[in-house]
Chain A
Amino acid sequence: MISHELRIDEITERYPASPEYLIFMLQDIQKSYGYIPPEAMDLICEQTGVPASQAYSVATFYQSFRLTPQGEHTIKVCLGTACHLKGGQRIMDELKRRLQVEPGETTPDMKFTYTSVNCVGACALAPVMVIDDQYYPSITVRKLEKQLKALSRE
């Protein structure tokens, strides 16, 4: 899923060397590597002239950036209002029971990372789960179990 084909400098060089492109670069690195490696951060800071303290402040302020490597599969459980009313939290609890790690963390075998998200805007399908950009409508504990088993077998 994650390709390391692009080198970090190939990504940073897509943009002009200006602080306003900091978020663009971080997003592209995140997309390509699944997280923001420290060496990428160094290079971005060098390129944009943004001090490391400020770059880390940006990377930790926004929820979509990760500073640690992510699992092979990312599971996002929507906890928007409609999903909350229809039992999204139940799915989060079940994931915690099954994967034995906290939300935002990765299983020791580097297979799964799971988090909650605040509304993916697909409220008619509540509760919704998104695994690696694939939406799963009206998710139940049983459907979750099936998906986890299928992904674990891969």
Chain B
Amino acid sequence: MADQSTARNLESWRLGSCEELNELRESILASRDPAGQEIVVCHGTGCVANGSPKVAQALNSALQAANRETRVMPGIKKTGCHGFCSRGPLVIVNPYGYFYQKVGPRDAEDIVELSILQEKPVQRLLYKDPQSGEPILSEKEIPFYKLQQRSVLRNIGKIDPTDITDTIAAGGYQALAKALTSMTPEQVVEEVERSGLRGRGGAGFPTGRKWRSALAAVEKKGRPIYVVVNGDEGDPGAFMDRTIMEGDPHAVLEGLILGAYALGAQQGYLYVRAEYPLAIRHLENAMAQARELGLLGENILDTGFSFDARINKGAGAFVCGESTALFTSIEGKPGNPRPKYVRSVEEGLWGRPTVLNNVETWANVPLIVDKGADWYAGLGVADNTGTKVFSLVGKVNNVGLVEVPMGISLGRIIEDIGGGVPGGEPFKAVQTGGPSGGCIPYSLKDTPVDFDSLAEVGSMMGSGGMIVMDSRDCVVDISRYFLRFLEEESCGKCIPCRLGLVRMRKMLDTFSAGEGTPQDIEDLVSLSQAVKDGSLCALGGSAPNPVLTTLKYFRDEYMAHIQNHECPAGVCKDLITYFIDPKLCTGCGVCARQCPQGCISGEDKEPHVIDAGHCIRCGICLESCKFGAVRVEPGVFVQGAFPGEAVKA
């Protein structure tokens, strides 16, 4: 393991000054040959699940087999997520920059033979331009990457996150050295204030202003003050923070140490979801290595400044992403939020002044300190400076992680970077901000993506999840999904959230079953408003957003459920019928064997028929048919043949 050998070497390296940090960096850079060969294998969660460890292993064996005595063995570097998850496992061969996608262990020999020995690309593994079909050699030429602006993600996919020397070579801890030697804590706060950085966790509160209020609280109440990383990325469909913690853990840590310096904190906490074991491992390892080097702990870089931090693993509660709930969880209690008559910067963890920022926010701080507030404020647009990382998922061609300057339009992210919906139809809607956000229709695709514009259309930035939906996704179903999620995750402390969400979900259940009246829709709107106004914390306060936005933009679809007893998208089980298209069915019988109800019948090699009366609409036949013969039709049909001949109930 690279981390063990590095950790051993680090012992003798404890850095006594910023000069020593620079010397170390220079010696690391000098020991590396920029023209040297290197094979980078993505080891993010996505690529690992798709088999990248086996690819790395195969590459190693292929290298050993091909090793000709004179040739120096190129290293294999395991990096964090490159972001282009739908194309994984990803392999890059440097210094040529050849970008290979969907690589399997079987491709290893060709990569070594062609790219390492002959220095040529392996044509079949290159990404092909979807329009022209032309192969593209390197990452930066691929539209998915070309249109992005990677600043927070700059190191991810390039460095080995388990090896601090890689981080230092890439410029890590330079901002810390700069702050400790040439800036006062006050100057660091000013820099963050002037940068215009707003919290990346969702609400977009100006970070500098938060820090300033914390300092005012310290003035009143004295020390200690705590700094905390919110790594409880609970929004389903979002994995920005996971990627940052896994792929560049030192960026988060350096940001936190800078914050501690600016605010005069001696103890910090990183609260990370238990569902992210790799992120926790990489952070623990990063902290251990930083301690060895004297970048964390007592007397950092011999400047007299001391700060240490520890990781608290979450235990599975969405509400713990809320600041006050997160604090009670760190204290070892159930994560119940408290009313915020007194803000958490004044009375946070252990009742002390506390600054809680999201992972991505902290990771932006070193950039601001290093490159300056003016540079940072030049990114993005006025009042929404910098870049934002989004996880682009759902019905979109290029699923993955994208970083763009604030203010870019929704359409540009989904269509140009994401490559649009598979099949080419326009997207139906996009859900931003997770369960607390809203559903934005295609007609608003020119909406700039920034905190304020998204709020104007009824959604929110949230932490950065972007879930793309197409015509096969039902808005009633998606609202119901989010409500069920929040209903389960509600801590139960306040009534509007605890009972209101259950009631709202039950109303959606009736719509989904084709029942209810238009008056019920009005009642749902008024109940939503009550939950919004009356809930204690942001979980309940924002829970009605998906319902309210879908009602605003897709009321027709709700009406189709209630009045026509139809689910136009073909999702709500009570309002659809499965058919087998006799023209496409080959009579292979796979669906009949898979059907748990045994309600598909037909002669061998003859078109089969589904008995609609016994069908439970599980969708297994649709999933198992290789010929696209199983179709879903909106509406309930009496059992029988294909629509056209069938009789509607």
Q: Which A residues form the contact surface with B (CB < 8 A)?
A: 18-24, 26-27, 48, 50, 54, 57-58, 61-65, 79-82, 84-85, 87, 90, 93-94, 97, 117-126, 128, 133, 135-137, 140-142
Q: Can you offer 28 A-B residue contacts whose CB atoms are under 8 A?
A: A22-B332, A23-B329, A57-B334, A63-B315, A64-B316, A65-B315, A65-B316, A80-B236, A81-B431, A82-B237, A82-B394, A82-B399, A85-B394, A85-B467, A85-B469, A85-B478, A121-B238, A121-B276, A123-B85, A123-B237, A124-B86, A124-B393, A124-B399, A125-B50, A125-B85, A128-B49, A136-B49, A141-B623
- Smallest CB-CB separation from B233: which chain A residue? A121
Query: Of B88, B313, B623, which contacts A27 at CB under 8 A?
Result: B313
Which chain B residues lie closer than 8 Å to A79 at the CB level? Answer: 236
Contact (A58, B48) CB under 8 Å given A80-B236, A81-B467, A85-B469: no
Contact (A123, B393) CB under 8 Å given A62-B315, A136-B49: yes
Which chain A residues lie closer than 8 Å to B478 at the CB level? Answer: 81, 85
In the assembled complex, the Cα of A11 lies from the Cα of B317 at a distance in Å of: 24
Interface string of B308-324 (1 = CB under 8 A from A): 00001111111000000
Instruction: Contact check, B238 vs A23: say whether CB atoms are below 8 A apart.
Output: no
Chain B proximity of A49: nearest CB distance (Å):
11
In the assembled complex, the Cα of A123 lies from the Cα of B86 at a distance in Å of: 9
Instruction: Contact check, B315 vs A26: say whether CB atoms are below 8 A apart.
Output: yes
The answer to the question of B647 belonging to the interface, with a C-beta cut-off of 8 Å to chain A, is no
Q: How many residues of B contact A (CB 8 A)?
A: 59
Which chain B residues lie closer than 8 Å to A26 at the CB level? Answer: 315
The answer to the question of B619 belonging to the interface, with a C-beta cut-off of 8 Å to chain A, is yes
From DSSP, what is the main secondary structure of chain A's interface residues? helix
Query: Of B49, B618, B620, which contacts A122 at CB under 8 A?
Result: B49
- Smallest CB-CB separation from A83: which chain B residue? B236
Chain A proximity of B269: nearest CB distance (Å):
10
Instruction: Contact check, B317 vs A63: say whether CB atoms are below 8 A apart.
Output: yes
Contact (A61, B481) CB under 8 Å given A81-B431, A85-B394, A87-B623: no
Which chain B residues lie closer than 8 Å to A97 at the CB level? Answer: 596
Q: A85-B473, A117-B275, A121-B238 are in contact. List 9 more A-B contacts (CB 8 A).
A: A54-B333, A58-B332, A84-B236, A119-B235, A119-B236, A122-B45, A123-B399, A125-B85, A126-B393
The answer to the question of B331 belonging to the interface, with a C-beta cut-off of 8 Å to chain A, is yes
Which chain A residues lie closer than 8 Å to B211 at the CB level? Answer: none
Which chain B residues lie closer than 8 Å to A62 at the CB level? Answer: 314-317, 334-335
Instruction: Contact check, B618 vs A93: say whether CB atoms are below 8 A apart.
Output: yes
Q: Which B residues form the contact surface with A (CB < 8 A)?
A: 45-46, 48-50, 85-86, 88, 233-239, 242, 274-277, 312-318, 329-335, 391, 393-395, 399-400, 431, 434, 465, 467, 469, 473, 478, 481-482, 485, 489, 491, 594, 596, 618-620, 623-624
Which chain A residues lie closer than 8 Å to B491 at the CB level? Answer: 61
Query: Of B312, B318, B400, B618, which contacts A124 at CB under 8 A?
Result: B400
Chain B proximity of A103: nearest CB distance (Å):
11
In the assembled complex, the Cα of A106 lies from the Cα of B620 at a distance in Å of: 24
Most buried by B among A63, A80, A123: A123
Instruction: Contact check, A61 vs B335: say whether CB atoms are below 8 A apart.
Output: yes
In the assembled complex, the Cα of A19 lies from the Cα of B330 at a distance in Å of: 10
- Smallest CB-CB separation from A133: which chain B residue? B277
- Smallest CB-CB separation from A22: which chain B residue? B332
- Smallest CB-CB separation from A30: which chain B residue? B315
Query: Of B88, B234, B473, B596, which contacts A94 at CB under 8 A?
Result: B596
In the assembled complex, the Cα of A79 lies from the Cα of B242 at a distance in Å of: 18
- Smallest CB-CB separation from B83: which chain A residue? A124
Instruction: Contact check, A142 vs B624: say whether CB atoms are below 8 A apart.
Output: yes
Query: Of A58, A87, A94, which contacts B333 at CB under 8 A?
Result: A58
Query: Of B46, B489, B623, which contacts A140 at CB under 8 A?
Result: B623
Query: Of A57, A64, A81, which contacts B434 at CB under 8 A?
Result: A81
Instruction: Contact check, A135 vs B49: say whether CB atoms are below 8 A apart.
Output: yes
Contact (A21, B237) CB under 8 Å given A121-B275, A125-B46: no
9 smallest beta-carbon distances between A and B, as pairs: A124-B85, A63-B316, A135-B49, A62-B315, A80-B236, A121-B239, A119-B236, A61-B334, A81-B237
In the assembled complex, the Cα of A128 lies from the Cα of B485 at a distance in Å of: 18
Instruction: Contact check, A20 vs B485: say whether CB atoms are below 8 A apart.
Output: no
Most buried by A among B275, B317, B594, B619: B275
Chain B proximity of A10: nearest CB distance (Å):
19
In the assembled complex, the Cα of A116 lies from the Cα of B230 at a distance in Å of: 24
Most buried by A among B49, B88, B233: B49
Which chain A residues lie closer than 8 Å to B624 at the CB level? Answer: 140-142
In the assembled complex, the Cα of A151 lies from the Cα of B102 at a distance in Å of: 28
In the assembled complex, the Cα of A125 lies from the Cα of B85 at a distance in Å of: 8
In the assembled complex, the Cα of A121 lies from the Cα of B313 at a distance in Å of: 16
- Smallest CB-CB separation from B336: which chain A residue? A61
Instruction: Contact check, A20 vs B331: say whether CB atoms are below 8 A apart.
Output: yes
Contact (A122, B434) CB under 8 Å given A63-B315, A80-B237: no
Chain B proximity of A148: nearest CB distance (Å):
14
- Smallest CB-CB separation from A90: which chain B residue? B619
In the assembled complex, the Cα of A122 lies from the Cα of B239 at a distance in Å of: 7
Which chain B residues lie closer than 8 Å to A122 at the CB level? Answer: 45-46, 49, 85, 239
Contact (A121, B393) CB under 8 Å given A62-B317, A64-B315, A87-B623: no
Most buried by B among A94, A117, A122, A133: A122
